[in-house]
Amino acid sequence: LQRDAKGQYLFDLLCHHLNLLEKDYFGIRFVDPDKQRHWLEFTKSVVKQMRAQPPFTMCFRVKFYPTDPAALKEEITRYLVFLQIKRDLYHGRLLCKTSDAALLAAYILQAEIGDYDPGKHPEGYSSKFQFFPKHSEKLERKIAEIHKSELSGQTPATSELNFLRKAQTLETYGVDPHPCKDVSGNAAFLAFTPFGFVVLQGNKRVHFIKWNEVTKMKFEGKTFYLYVSQKEEKKIVLTYFAPTPEACKHLWKCGIENQAFYKLEKSSQVRTVSSSNLFFKGSRFRYSGRVAKEVMESSAKIKREPPEIHRAGLVPSRSCPSITHGPRLSSVPRTRRRAVHISIMEGRARRGGAHACEHTLTHPRQGDTRTRSWIFVLPTPVAEHSLELMLLARQANGAPCSIEEEQEPEAGTPAGTAEAAGGELRALCPGTGGPGA
């Protein structure tokens, strides 16, 4: 990768590799040496954004969740969004009551192993899957019951589409939580969804503010301010405190991008935003992509033969264990290597941080004038020990719970071990009337 190559170049190359046209919903995220997450900015040099030394480790994931995932034009896009939401369910970011959880898990089961076959699927077969941080035997039986009796005949594409339609109706659909504290010192999670700004606290959603009600976002140090204008000229200011100034700036930038993407009619309406009341003081940021309405209009014009999808669901991995230990299936077509060397791998880092791709970590010889930086784009691995910290609500609604700040591989660690990422784990258990109700 040439040193002056922009983030857009890397992102376009990756989307070409994935045969993905509806790419505006996705992004590349990385973690700096201080464990702070960042979205790769497409208008800036890749190398200059990375504070670590190469090889760089990044995560390809959904950045803007589709308002209606079922309305996506191409199956390849729906499949990638399905993988992301399945991961959200596994990490406890997508909260739901037991009946919804069972149905979502059954859709995953149908998409991955097909119709129930008593010869292949013995008693208790659903327990060999890990759909949630933890779940009970009763829930496993319910999942198997739905899979056996209600989903027979559904193709993987149909099951994935039904999964998306159900997930979209849940209150925490699209939540990518930012841990904060309120003015009283209580822990909270702030998140931006396709429909607005959400605050989750304790066992319930304490704030939901539509995008057209948000008038301004700013930050000073570790303090994040959200200005809201509601009916009858009611104006409020919500104040939260992030763990660090860097985390607060990341929260602010995410908010600016999400509001621009979902609220604006045209990308020409995007303006540079300042973090301070004084234009010449503080951070300045501008969203550089297209907005949701433009993306949907562009998708409607796509006319091509649907690309072949090589589903990788049957590959066992730490992040989403599977029942079948079959041969590894590539989720992307083979393409000729270009200037950037990209390794798309299962998130299965070995203990001790061993490099899962050591054979690719060669560097140019001395005297070689070509400038290269190694890039690894991986799914986010999950630390084995972190699963012990996750909870399953044993309350009246029986909702599996907890929102976890997803651990991403630390910059400069190609194996992407979650132990190295050192992300903070927080649990949010829904009770009656909470996000899972």
Each residue's pLDDT tens digit, 208-250: 999 999 999 999 999 999 999 987 778 899 999 999 999 999 9
At residue 12, the pLDDT reads: 96
CB-facing half-sphere around the CA of 397: CA atoms within 13 A: 19
Per-residue pLDDT reduced to its tens digit, 101-123: 999 999 999 999 999 999 999 98
Instruction: State mean pLDDT over 275-279.
Output: 64
Residue-wise pLDDT tens digits, 292-327: 999 999 999 999 999 988 887 543 333 343 333 333
Which pLDDT band holds residue 424 (cuts at 50, 70, 90)?
Answer: very low
Nearest to 180 by CA among 121, 238, 253: 238
**Residues 192 and 113 sit within 8 Å (Cβ to Cβ):** no
In this prediction, residue 281 carries a pLDDT of: 64
Using alpha carbons, select from 176, 173, 89 the residue that is nearest to residue 135.
Answer: 89
What pLDDT score was predicted for residue 134? 83
Domains plus CATH for the chain?
1-63 (3.10.20.90), 80-94+96-169 (1.20.80.10), 178-301 (2.30.29.30)
- The structure tokens 């940021």 sit at 285
**Nearest CA-CA partner of 47 in 80, 85, 19, 7:** 7
Q: What is the mean pLDDT of the chain?
A: 76
